[in-house]
């Protein structure tokens, strides 16, 4: 990515000074953003001090009083403008996502499209923040429930979706009448700055307070500040299970609210009734897309023994066709891992697979030579394993696909799938209606997402996104996920001239 393209996004990398609200703050500490595509530094971004953090929160507290009094459809108009601006900047922002994070350019464009889609969804929701009317047991009374803004929503995001997850949270939180404070991953700071500038310009042109949307730069310490801060009623955190536990415990200590989107250990079940062509396509994309760095990436393929060898052979052949290289070059299917630490975790996982008795079918390793100078490019791996191997029970954020055999009925495969600590995404490949319905029943998949004849990777905006167990239980995006960002209130109105008391108590004056 050229300097000219960075400037197109209006990223003010120098002389941005200290200011409040929709800008960011500086002190002597900095984050170096480097591209995993070539290992070259892009820019240094200065971090937020605690004094500056306090100023951000105070600006947000002021802004929330103004923003929540604006009618919801008018708040939706601001999000509509954000969606339109994202459409305009989609090619360049998609390229920045690809360059700074390392996912393919097509995936970068797809991530920006998710931002546009959630804006469209949120605009509609801004006219539907509805409650229920409830019949009262007392004559002459009316009951209903309604939803009010929480106030300030803290958003902590991960590197793998550096812009979409912020949009999922911000678009809904803002139309619900909240203001947002964002702590992005320190691995992708420029993507965050770009998004913040886009929204800041919209707020400014509509003469709205900057503190409606704020950006904090720094390491995990800033996430701790947010988590401990009772002025921030809700923390939405996306990342590892380890990080989520820390956030959950810290926020729970002050009886705050959390929305957690954490690790996944996603499986595709392949039954004898599966369409094998669809199966191979879904498994390969799910395992190697974003270099295996999606929370919904396919980690395990649970295959019936009657078709196991056929699936194995087809997969090995398909992996020979995968092209790995510069994600901005559309001829390549897979780009790099995010950094050298991720590469080391990948290598450690390969060692553990062998130590624990697994068999490597498609060998991995770090790629070297022209185009791979960053040291972050690796080969995708297929390994035959047992589901109980400790390494299989963990989530490795890398392109490693585990092949697991099952026999008997589909219930055995479901039991294997569910026998991990995580519960995000799942899928079954079958043309048998009964197998599909068992998989989707209360005795089937225990994941927040359960698909039939599509892979585990990816999700539509219209459905709630999230998972169970160590995935955290949170729900973002579609359906009625907007309710997470609001406080629920039950209202009872007495329009009679008497006051009936609870439990039939009589009290006369």
Residues in the chain: 509
Span between the terminal Cα atoms of the chain, in Å = 79
Query: Which is nearest to 215 in space by CA: 170, 261, 180, 173?
Result: 180
DSSP tag of 500: P
Own/partner long-range contacts of 459-465 (Cβ < 8 Å, ≥24 apart): 459/296, 459/425, 461/114, 461/117, 461/118, 461/120, 461/121, 462/121, 465/168, 465/261
469 beta partners: 422
SS3 label, residue 71 = coil
- Contact in structure between 363 and 379 (CB atoms under 8 Å): yes
Q: Show the beta-strand stretches assigned E in 228-376.
A: 234-238, 257-261, 266-270, 298-304, 359-362
d(CA 172, CA 191): 20
d(CA 240, CA 187): 14
List the catalytic residues.
261
DSSP tag of 305: T
d(CA 296, CA 254): 31
Phi, psi (rounded to 5 degrees) for 101: -95, -35
- Contact in structure between 265 and 259 (CB atoms under 8 Å): no
């Amino acid at each position: 990515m050229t300097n000219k393209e960075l400037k197109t996004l209006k990223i003010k990398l120098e002389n941005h000074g200290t200011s409040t609200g929709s800008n960011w703050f500086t002190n002597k500490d900095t984050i170096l953003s480097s591209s995993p595509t070539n290992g070259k530094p892009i820019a240094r971004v200065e971090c937020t001090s605690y004094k500056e953090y306090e100023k951000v929160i105070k600006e947000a507290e002021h802004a929330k009083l103004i923003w929540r009094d604006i009618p919801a459809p008018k708040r939706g108009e601001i999000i509509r403008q954000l969606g339109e601006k994202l459409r305009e900047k989609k090619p360049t922002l998609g390229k920045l996502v690809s360059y700074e994070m390392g996912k393919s350019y097509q995936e970068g464009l797809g991530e920006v499209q998710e931002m546009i889609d959630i804006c469209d969804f949120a605009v509609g929701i801004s006219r539907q923040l509805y409650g229920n009317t409830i019949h009262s047991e007392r004559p002459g009374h009316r009951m209903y429930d309604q939803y009010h803004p929480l106030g300030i929503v803290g958003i902590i995001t991960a590197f793998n979706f550096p812009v979409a997850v912020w949009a999922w949270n911000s678009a809904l939180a803002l139309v619900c009448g909240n203001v947002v404070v964002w702590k992005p991953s320190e691995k992708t700071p420029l993507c965050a700055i770009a998004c913040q500038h886009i929204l800041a310009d919209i707020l400014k042109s509509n003469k709205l307070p900057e503190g409606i949307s704020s950006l904090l730069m720094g390491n995990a310490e800033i996430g701790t500040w947010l988590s401990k801060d009772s002025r921030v009623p809700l923390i939405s955190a996306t990342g590892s299970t380890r990080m989520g536990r820390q956030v959950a415990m810290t926020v729970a200590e002050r009886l705050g609210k959390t929305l957690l989107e954490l690790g996944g250990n996603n499986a595709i079940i392949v039954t004898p009734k599966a369409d094998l062509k669809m199966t191979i396509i879904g498994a390969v994309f799910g395992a190697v897309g974003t270099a295996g760095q999606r929370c919904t990436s396919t980690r395990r393929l649970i295959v019936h023994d009657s078709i196991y060898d056929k699936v194995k052979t087809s997969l090995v052949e398909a992996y020979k066709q995968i092209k790995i290289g510069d994600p901005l070059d559309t001829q390549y299917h897979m780009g790099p891992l995010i950094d050298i630490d991720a590469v080391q975790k990948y290598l450690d996982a390969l060692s553990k697979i062998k130590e624990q008795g697994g068999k490597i079918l498609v060998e991995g390793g770090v790629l070297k030579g022209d185009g791979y100078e960053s040291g972050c490019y690796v080969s995708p791996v297929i390994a035959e394993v047992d589901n109980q191997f400790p390494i299989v029970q963990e989530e490795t954020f890398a392109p490693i696909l585990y092949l697991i055999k099952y026999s008997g009925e589909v219930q055995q495969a479901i039991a294997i799938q569910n026998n991990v600590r995580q519960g995000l995404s799942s899928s079954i490949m079958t043309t048998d209606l009964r197998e599909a319905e068992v998989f989707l029943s209360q005795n089937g998949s225990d994941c927040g997402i359960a698909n039939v004849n599509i892979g585990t990777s990816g999700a539509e905006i219209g459905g709630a996104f999230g998972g169970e167990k160590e995935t955290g239980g949170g729900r973002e995006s579609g359906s009625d996920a907007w309710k997470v960002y609001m406080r629920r209130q039950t209202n009872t109105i007495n329009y009679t001239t008497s006051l009936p008391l609870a439990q039939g108590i009589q009290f006369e004056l």
